[in-house]
Structure 1
Amino acid sequence: MSHQQTELKKDLKIRHITMISLGGIIGAGLFVGSGSLINSAGPASIFSYVFAGLLVVLVMRMLGEMSIVNPTSGSFSTYAREAMGPWAGYTIGWLYWFFWVIVIAVEAIGGSNIIQYWFPSWPSWSVSLALTLLLTLTNLYSVKSYGEFEYWFSLIKVVSIVLFLALGGAIIFGLIPHVHSPGTSNILHRGGFMPHGFSSIFVGIALVMFSFMGSEIVAIAAGETSHPEKAITVATNSVIYRILIFYLGSILVLVTVLPWNSTTLLKNPFVSVLNVLNIPAAGQIMNFIVLTAVLSCLNSGLYTSSRMLFAMAQNGDAPRAFSKVNKRGVPVYAILGCTVVSFISVIFNYLSPDKIFLFLVNASGGVALLVYLVIAFSQLRLRRKYEKEKPEALKIKMWLFPYLTYATILVIAVVLIMQAFIDSLRSQFYLTALIAVCVVGSYFVFKNKRSTNTLPDKQVV
C-alpha cells in the first residue's frame, strides 16, 4: 500500500463538470412527473416551475459563492459546520446522504420497470441489482469513469430536450404540414389559465423543488477537478438558462400542445407530443430517453452519497473506514456502503412496499428544502466572515446581499411549512421532520463518543 495518495483524485475535466451541471436537473421527474403536476394545476403549473426555478437559481448562487472560496467534496455540509457548528454539518450531511441512497433505490426500481417493458420475463429485483452493480463498478473504477458515463448520459438528455423543444415549437407555430397548431386554446379555453386557483401554484412549488434536486451536485464534483474555480463559475452562471430552456421551455410546450385536463395524454406527456407528429415508435424512443435519465440519476446518486459519506468520515461524523481511498483516489468503502444500503432499500420495496419502503421514500421527500435552507443560512453567516478574512476570494457574490438571502430563507421556510397543510404532502412533511429530529438527536447522543471532529490523517487502501 502506498501512503502518498491520500486525497480524492482531481480527474474530472471541465467538459465533465459542464455536462454534469447541464444534465443534473433533467431527471425522470421532468419526463414523467410533469404530467401529474400539469393535470393538477393546469397551464398555471408553468408558474410553479418559474417560482421553484427562481429559488434554485438563488440557492445555487449562494452555493457558488461559498464553493469558489472553499471547493470541497463535503460542500454544504462543510459550510454548515463552519457557519453554524458541528451539529449542523453532521445533520445536513446525514440527511443529504439519506436522500440520495433512497434515490438510488428508487431509480434502480424505476430502471428495472422500464427494462421490463422490453424484457417482461426478467425478474424486477435482479434487474435493479444489475443496474446498481453496473454503476457501482463505474464509480469504483475511477472518478473519471463516473464523469465519462455522466457526460454521455447528460448529452443524450440535453440533445433529446433540445430536439423536443424544436419539434414542440414547430407544432405551436404551425410549421409542420398536416399537423394542426393548437394556438392558445389549451392554455385559455379549458377553464382559463388558472383553473384551480392561485393556491394550486403553491402546491406545485413543493412538488417541483424535488425535481430540481441535483443542481447542487456540481459543487460536490468541483472538489475533484483541477480547475474548481472555472467549473463552479460555469455551473453557477449557466443555472439560469438551464432552468429557462430545459424546464420552463418543456413545460410551456406541454401545456400549449396538450389539453391540461387529459389524464390519458398527460400520463406520459412527452410521448403524447411525439404521437401528435405521428412519429413511429414514440413510446420506445421516450422509454430509452427516460431510462437514460434514470441511469444518470442513479449514477449521480452513487457518486454524491459516497462523497458526502467520505467527507463526513473525514470530519469524524461517520465511521473512519469511509474516509479511506485507494491508489486511484476512489473512496471504495464509502461507495460500497451506499450501494449496500440502497440495495437493502430495494429489497424492502419487494418485501414491504406499502410500509417500510413507502416510509423511507416519504421521509426523504422534504430533504431538498432543508438542504436549500441550510445553504442559505450558511451563506448568510459565511459571507460576512469571508469579507473580513479573504475578500479577494469572493469571485462570485450573491446578488443584493443580505436582502435576497433573507427573502430566500423566508420563502423556503413558507414552502416547507406549507407542506403540513397539503394532504398529499403532509405525511412527507412529518416523516422528514421525524428523521431530522432523530439525526440531530443522534449527534448529541454520540457527541461524547467522538474524540475529535477532524481526523488527523486520511487513509489509503
Structure 2
Amino acid sequence: MTSTQVGNRHEDGSTAVGTTPEEGYERGLGSRQVQMIAIGGAIGVGLFLGAGANIEKAGPSLILMYALAGVIVFFIMRALGELLLYRPVSGSFAEYAREFLGPFWGYVTGWTYWLLWVVTGMAELTAAAIYIHYWFPDIPQWVTALAFLVLLYVANLISVKIFGEIEFWFSMVKVTAIIGMIVIGLGVVTFGFSAAGDTASASNLWAHDGFFPNGVGSSLMTLQGVMFAYLAVELVGVTAGESENPEKTLPKAINTLPFRIIVFYVGALSVILMVVKWTAFEDGVSPFVAAFAKIGIPAGAAIVNFVVLTAALSSCNSGMYSTGRMLRDLAANAEAPKLLGRLSSSKTPAIGITLSAALMGIGVVLNYVVPEKAFTYVTSVATAAGIWTWMMILVSHILYRRAVVAGRLPASSFPAPGGSVCSWIAVVFLLMVTVFIALDPDGRISLYVGAGWAVCLAVGWLVLKANNPQIAQRSIREQEQAPEFMDKGSV
C-alpha cells in the first residue's frame, strides 16, 4: 500500500489506509460505557454456565487453563489495540484483514465474525432459558429464549446510546456481583461461617485427587470451552467507530484486561473451588449458583442466578450490536447487499440487526428440538469462529508491523509489547486449540459447520466477483500490492 493512498478513498469507494470515516454513525459511546463494555466482555455465560462442565473435566486445574488462555487473549488484544490506534474504524478486524491480506480475507472475516455473534446469541439465549428454569421449571426453554430475543431486538433498534447504557448497567451488575461473591467466599474460607464453612478450605484445590485429577490431557481439552468464555473481549474494537474519544478510551480498556482476568476468572474460580470441592459441580449447572446454594445464604442462589441471567442477556445484547455493524461494513465494501448498509433515523443499522436477530431465532428452534445439546453445539461453533477472528487480528498485526518497519505505514501510538513475537505465540496457541477441538467428539461439529461455511463463503465470493466489477478490480489491485506486505521485516 503506497503512502499516497493514506487519507483517501479508493476509486471503488473502499476506504484507504489512514482514514477514520464517521460512516454516518453517532459517536454516542462515552468513556464509562466503553470501559464497562470492555469489562463486561470478560464476564459471560462461558464462565457462569460453561465452567460447570469444564470443572467436571479438569477439576481445580481449570484455574490454570483460564490463566494460560488469559495471557494469550491479552496478546491478541494488544495486537488489536495497536491496529485500532493506527486506524480506528467500526469495521475493525474485517477492515484490517481487508487492508493487509486483501478483500477476500476481509469478506471472510466480516461474515465469520457476524456468524460468531449470531451463534453466540443462540448460546446466550439458551443459557438465559436455562437460568429461568431455576424459578419457572415448567416453562419450555424455547418460549423463554424467544421472549428474550424479541426484547433485546427492540432495544437495539432505538439508538447506540441506549445500547451503551443497557450494557453499562448489565456489566455493572456482573462486576459488582462477582466482587461480592469473591468477598463472601473468602469470608467462608477464612472464618468458616455458613453451611459450607466446615468443608471450605484452600486444600480443596489439591486434596481431591490432586490439582490435575483427570490428567493434564483432560485439562488441555477444556481450552476450547475456556476460549469461548473469553469471546467478546474483542468487542471493544467494534465500538471504535462510535466511541467519543477512541485514542483515550481504547488503550485504557485494553490495558485493564489482565486485572479483569485475574479477578473475574482466576480469582472467582479459585474462591469457588475453595468453598466447594470440585467433585460437587456438574455440567449444566452454574458453579456460582451451586456454591451459593451450598453456603446457604438466604436467597443467595436466586440472586446469583439473576446475575448470571444478566450476563447472558448482556452478551446477546452485544451480539445484536456487533452483527449489525459488521453487516454494514460488509455492505459498504460491496461484500453484502447494499440494503444492509442503510441506517435508520436513529443512526442504527436496523436492517442488519433485524436479519441477525431473525437468524438467532435458530437458537430458539434448537432449544425446542435438542434442549440438552443446544448449548454445547452452539458454543463449539462460536469458538471456532472466534479463533478465526482472533487469527486474522494477529496476522494483520504481524503484517502491519512489517509495513511500519519498512516505512510504508505510520507507527501506532499504542504499540504492542514484544512487537509481533507475542502475536506469533498466540497464533501457535490458537492452532493448538483447534487441534483439541478436532479431537473432541462434541466440539468436532464446529469443524464440520466451518467446512460448510467456508464452501458457502467461497461460492459467495465467486458470485460477488462475477457480478461486481469493483470487487474484481480491487482484488487485482490488492494482489499487485500484496508482495509489499509479505517482505521480511523485523518483529
Q: Same fold (TM over 0.5)?
A: yes
Q: CA deviation at 1:371?
A: 1.2
Q: Secondary structure at the match of 1:10?
A: coil
The corresponding residue for 1:225 is: 243
**Unaligned residue ranges in structure 2 (runs of 5+):** 1-21, 473-491
Is 1:378 aligned with 2:396? yes
2:270 aligned residue (222, 236, 252): 252
Please report the RMSD computed on the Cα atoms of aligned residues, expressed in angstroms.
2.5
Q: Secondary structure at the match of 2:469?
A: coil
CA distance in 2, matches of 1:340, 1:69: 35
CA distance in 2, matches of 1:136, 1:265: 29
Q: CA deviation at 1:15?
A: 0.6
Contact 1:171 1:180 in 2 (8 A): no
With structure 1 as the length reference, what TM-score do the two structures score? 0.90
1:168 aligned residue (185, 204, 216): 185
Is 1:287 aligned with 2:298? no
Q: CA deviation at 1:208?
A: 0.3
Q: CA deviation at 1:433?
A: 3.5
2:261 aligned residue (243, 251, 263): 243
CA distance in 1, matches of 2:37, 2:165: 10
Is 1:138 aligned with 2:136? no
CA distance in 1, matches of 2:342, 2:271: 48
CA, structure 1 residues 441+432, in 2 after alignment: closer, same or farther (shift >3 Å)? same
The corresponding residue for 1:82 is: 99
CA, structure 1 residues 215+390, in 2 after alignment: closer, same or farther (shift >3 Å)? same
The corresponding residue for 2:65 is: 48
CA distance in 1, matches of 2:269, 2:372: 31
The corresponding residue for 1:333 is: 351
CA distance in 1, matches of 2:61, 2:132: 34
The corresponding residue for 2:468 is: 450
Is 1:205 aligned with 2:223? yes
CA distance in 2, matches of 1:451, 1:217: 32
The corresponding residue for 2:109 is: 92
- Paired amino acid for 1:430: Y
Higher mean Cα deviation, 398-407 or 445-454?
445-454
Is 1:157 aligned with 2:174? yes
Q: CA deviation at 1:117?
A: 3.9
The corresponding residue for 1:20 is: 37
CA distance in 2, matches of 1:194, 1:126: 40
1:195 aligned residue (213, 221, 226): 213
Is 1:29 aligned with 2:46? yes
1:351-375 per-residue CA deviation (whole Å, 9 max, x = no partner) reads 5769999876654441111111111
CA distance in 2, matches of 1:292, 1:89: 33
With structure 2 as the length reference, what TM-score do the two structures score? 0.85
Contact 1:109 1:124 in 2 (8 A): yes
CA, structure 1 residues 291+16, in 2 after alignment: closer, same or farther (shift >3 Å)? same
CA, structure 1 residues 177+130, in 2 after alignment: closer, same or farther (shift >3 Å)? closer
1:277 aligned residue (277, 295, 304): 295
Q: Secondary structure at the match of 1:226?
A: coil
CA distance in 2, matches of 1:147, 1:253: 31
Q: Secondary structure at the match of 2:470?
A: coil
Q: CA deviation at 1:452?
A: 2.2
Q: Secondary structure at the match of 1:391?
A: coil
Contact 2:320 2:356 in 1 (8 A): yes
Contact 2:128 2:145 in 1 (8 A): yes
Contact 1:95 1:436 in 2 (8 A): no
Is 1:420 aligned with 2:438? yes
Contact 1:8 1:329 in 2 (8 A): yes
CA distance in 2, matches of 1:321, 1:217: 24
CA distance in 2, matches of 1:34, 1:79: 33
**Unaligned residue ranges in structure 1 (runs of 5+):** 455-461
Q: CA deviation at 1:130?
A: 2.7
CA, structure 1 residues 279+409, in 2 after alignment: closer, same or farther (shift >3 Å)? same
CA, structure 1 residues 407+359, in 2 after alignment: closer, same or farther (shift >3 Å)? closer
Q: CA deviation at 1:294?
A: 1.2
Higher mean Cα deviation, 113-122 or 235-244?
113-122
1:436 aligned residue (429, 447, 454): 454
CA distance in 2, matches of 1:208, 1:265: 14
1:275-307 per-residue CA deviation (whole Å, 9 max, x = no partner) reads 343201223112211111111011101001111
Matches within 5 A, 1:336-355: 336-347=354-365, 349-350=367-368
CA distance in 2, matches of 1:332, 1:191: 53
The corresponding residue for 2:483 is: none
The corresponding residue for 1:267 is: 285
Q: CA deviation at 1:101?
A: 1.2
Q: Secondary structure at the match of 1:261?
A: helix
Q: CA deviation at 1:100?
A: 0.9
Q: CA deviation at 1:86?
A: 0.8
- Paired amino acid for 1:328: S
CA distance in 2, matches of 1:262, 1:123: 27
1:111-147 per-residue CA deviation (whole Å, 9 max, x = no partner) reads 2343354345656444333322221222111000000
Is 1:8 aligned with 2:30? no
CA distance in 2, matches of 1:276, 1:349: 29
Q: CA deviation at 1:184?
A: 3.3
CA distance in 2, matches of 1:428, 1:323: 29
- What percentage of residue pairs aligned between the two structures are identical? 34
1:118 aligned residue (135, 138, 144): 135
